[in-house]
């Protein structure tokens, strides 16, 4: 119990202390006009209130990630707490804030455009590929995971396939609506269900007489029955809830609806902290109610949704437990919708298809839904494996964009470089060792080779940064934080 409560306290303190420093380091301008005001189009660029922006950001970034990830991360034992707390405060929340605010300064630009500006135009194509791949996988995962949860609490005649079709119908309808109608009207209700259900799970866990594992020197061991090493697997298993590149594709969407830079710390940094709290509660619940062997068998037999079902019913009973499951269901449905919306924007920007009519919107969106529908037939564990890989590579790209931004502005860039280098090394180790990469396994040679590759990438990044800074025009567009209006297909 002490670790769970203490961890949540640390997360909240991180928002008020380190979050404040990150905001100060960025140097906000409360009087600066925002894209929502300057580029208002009634569809994607729409001024909305701070509270609506915050709940949209939370539901966009959350999905099943801060629940499914910690459930699977619980297999590594209480050490998962450390990654959630440290990763969230010093990595994920900084990552989300920086991309959200840099996008806000650049007419609501998406990640590929920001990569082009701050890392070089050739990088834009690489980032586009990763962003499109990531969002397609996210959208698909966040269709299959709620479908399996809904099936567990509905009559047997409502099959997973039928539920998947219904979710896609909802997505199509929401896609053609302006953001303030598609998300602004519905998400506050979704958010209420999420918050109430999360609090209920947490309170029941704390006061229900359950033994909650604490983080001590005696129980730092890996609970994974398969013996999977903690590094780098833990840092890919728990991504949402600690640090996630998917968030870098979502923050620009909210950057297009924010009306003041002062809202950034609450909207971007704060909602990542909230996601960390959700992750702590579900990791603690999974470790408290199941041993490693049982948890592993449940995940293998029915995906993490089986664990969600059992945790909710065991802690809250049938009625309240079902309500808690509904709280989990709204997360992936809302994040899946935002994933496809971001995917449409990124793809239309890349192909220069202006999104000013329903016909053009559907022309981009419907083929994406068709591809995703086919992917829903793949095994969940395979989808998740590729999602986590693409997700954390995207996080590295976002942190390097943020580092370059701060470097060019003569600000403290170590706040993004340090987590960026750590995740870069983890990604290279993962790619070299895993079956989706070079299949070399985790050997001493793997770690050495990963170190050398990471060092080479970092050296290239530093050299190009020095060259870019040396060639800056004091009155140039990078220092002025502005991309030319008309850069984006949606943007006028």
Whole-number percent of the chain with pLDDT over 70 = 87
pLDDT at site 225: 64
pLDDT at site 343: 86
Please state the pTM of the whole predicted model: 0.86
Q: Is the pLDDT of residue 412 over 80?
A: yes
Cα 422 to Cα 23: distance, rounded to the nearest angstrom:
22
Q: What's the whole-number mean pLDDT along residues 62-68? A: 71
Between 367 and 316, the higher pLDDT residue: 367
Q: Are 89 and 11 in contact (CB under 8 A)?
A: yes
Q: What's the whole-number mean pLDDT along residues 341-346? A: 84
Q: What is the separation of C-alpha 266 from the centre of its chain, rounded to a whole number of angstroms?
A: 16
Q: What's the whole-number mean pLDDT along residues 215-238? A: 76
For residue 203, the 8-state DSSP code is: H
Between 312 and 253, the higher pLDDT residue: 253
Q: What are the structural domains of the chain?
A: 2-470 (1.20.1740.10)
pLDDT digits (tens, 9 = 90+) for 381-398: 676 677 778 889 999 999
pLDDT digits (tens, 9 = 90+) for 292-306: 666 666 666 555 666
pLDDT at site 380: 62
Least confident of 313-317, 319-323, 336-340: 319-323
Q: Which residue has the tokens 């999104």?
A: 355
Q: pLDDT grade, residue 256 (50/70/90)?
A: very high
Give the per-residue SS3 of 367-381. Answer: HHHHHHHHHCCCCHH
Q: What is the separation of C-alpha 318 from the centre of its chain, rounded to a whole number of angstroms?
A: 30
Q: Are 391 and 68 in contact (CB under 8 A)?
A: no
pLDDT at site 220: 67
Torsion angle of alpha carbons 281, 282, 287, 289, nearest 10°? 100
């Amino acid at each position: 119990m002490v670790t769970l409560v203490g961890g949540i306290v640390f997360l909240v303190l991180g928002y008020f202390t380190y979050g404040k420093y990150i905001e100060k380091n960025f140097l906000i301008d409360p009087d600066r006009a925002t894209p929502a005001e300057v580029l208002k189009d009634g569809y994607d660029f729409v001024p909305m209130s701070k509270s609506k922006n915050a709940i949209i950001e939370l539901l966009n970034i959350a999905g099943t990630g801060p629940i499914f990830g910690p459930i699977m991360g619980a297999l590594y034992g209480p050490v998962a707490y450390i990654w959630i707390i440290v990763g969230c405060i010093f990595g994920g929340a900084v990552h989300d804030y920086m991309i959200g605010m840099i996008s806000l300064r650049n007419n609501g630009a998406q990640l590929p455009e920001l990569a082009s500006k701050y890392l070089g135009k050739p990088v834009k194509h690489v980032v586009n590929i990763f962003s499109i791949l990531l969002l397609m996988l996210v959208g698909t995962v966040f269709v299959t995971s709620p479908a399996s949860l809904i099936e567990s609490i509905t009559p047997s005649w409502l099959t997973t396939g039928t539920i998947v079709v219904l979710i896609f119908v909802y997505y199509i309808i929401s896609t053609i609506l302006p953001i303030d109608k598609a998300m602004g009207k519905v998400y506050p209700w979704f958010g209420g269900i999420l918050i109430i259900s999360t609090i209920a799970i947490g309170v029941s866990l704390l006061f229900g007489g359950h033994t909650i594992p604490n983080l001590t020197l005696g129980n730092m061991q890996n609970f994974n029955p398969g013996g999977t090493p903690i590094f780098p697997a833990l840092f890919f298993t728990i991504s949402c809830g600690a640090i996630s590149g998917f968030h870098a594709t979502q923050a620009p969407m909210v950057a297009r609806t924010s009306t003041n830079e002062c809202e950034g710390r609450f909207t971007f940094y704060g909602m990542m902290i909230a996601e960390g709290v959700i992750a702590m509660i579900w990791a603690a619940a999974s470790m408290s109610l199941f041993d490693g062997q049982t948890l592993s068998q449940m995940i293998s037999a029915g995906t993490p949704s089986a664990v969600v079902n059992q945790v909710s019913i065991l802690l809250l009973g049938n009625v309240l437990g079902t309500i808690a499951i509904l709280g989990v269901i709204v997360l992936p449905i809302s994040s899946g919708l935002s994933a496809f919306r971001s995917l449409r924007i990124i793809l239309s920007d890349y192909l220069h298809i202006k999104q000013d009519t329903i016909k053009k919107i559907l022309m981009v969106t419907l083929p994406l839904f068709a591809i995703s529908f086919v992917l829903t037939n793949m095994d969940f564990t395979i989808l998740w494996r590729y999602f986590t890989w693409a997700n954390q590579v995207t996080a590295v790209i976002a942190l390097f964009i943020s580092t370059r931004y701060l470097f060019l502005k003569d600000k403290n860039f170590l706040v993004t470089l340090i987590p960026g280098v750590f995740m870069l090394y983890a990604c290279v180790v993962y790619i070299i060792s895993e079956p989706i990469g070079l299949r070399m396994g985790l050997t001493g040679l793997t770690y050495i080779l990963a170190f050398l590759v990471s060092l080479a990438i970092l050296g290239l990044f530093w050299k190009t940064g020095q060259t870019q800074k040396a060639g800056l025009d004091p009155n140039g567009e990078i220092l002025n934080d502005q991309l030319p209006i008309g850069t984006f297909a949606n943007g006028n």
